[in-house]
Amino acid sequence: MSGSGHRAGLHALVEGRVQGVGFRASTVDAARRLGLGGWVRNLPDGRVELKAWGDQAALAQLREWLRQGPPFARVDRLDCVDAEPETTMRFELRR
């Protein structure tokens, strides 16, 4: 994979109707399409947490996608901070 930008990382917490609506699986699909590595999981408090890394432009696209989520989700709040990128380029769903 030839990246067009610098590698970066993103840590995000998503609040709203984001569990039980395919949010995690859709996030995995979106991140893999963008060529990002990382993971996504449900939190006990109803939020979804994810960490992604890769090309800065791809991370920006993922951040925009997270503002909406999949069709049946409702995103009320999205908190994103920069994170240290890791080396693995697989994006996975964690339980």
Look up 74 and say whether it is catalytic: no
Say which of 7, 32, 41, 42 is annotated catalytic: 42
What distance in Å separates the CA atoms of residue 27 and residue 25, rounded to the nearest whole number? 5
**Backbone phi, then psi, for 71, in 5-degree steps?**
-55, -40
Look up 95 and say whether it is catalytic: no
What distance in Å separates the CA atoms of residue 13 and residue 34, rounded to the nearest whole number? 19
Q: Please provide the distance, in angstroms rounded to a whole number, between the alpha carbons at the two ends of the chain.
A: 28
What distance in Å separates the CA atoms of residue 17 and residue 14, rounded to the nearest whole number? 9
- Annotated catalytic residues are 24, 42
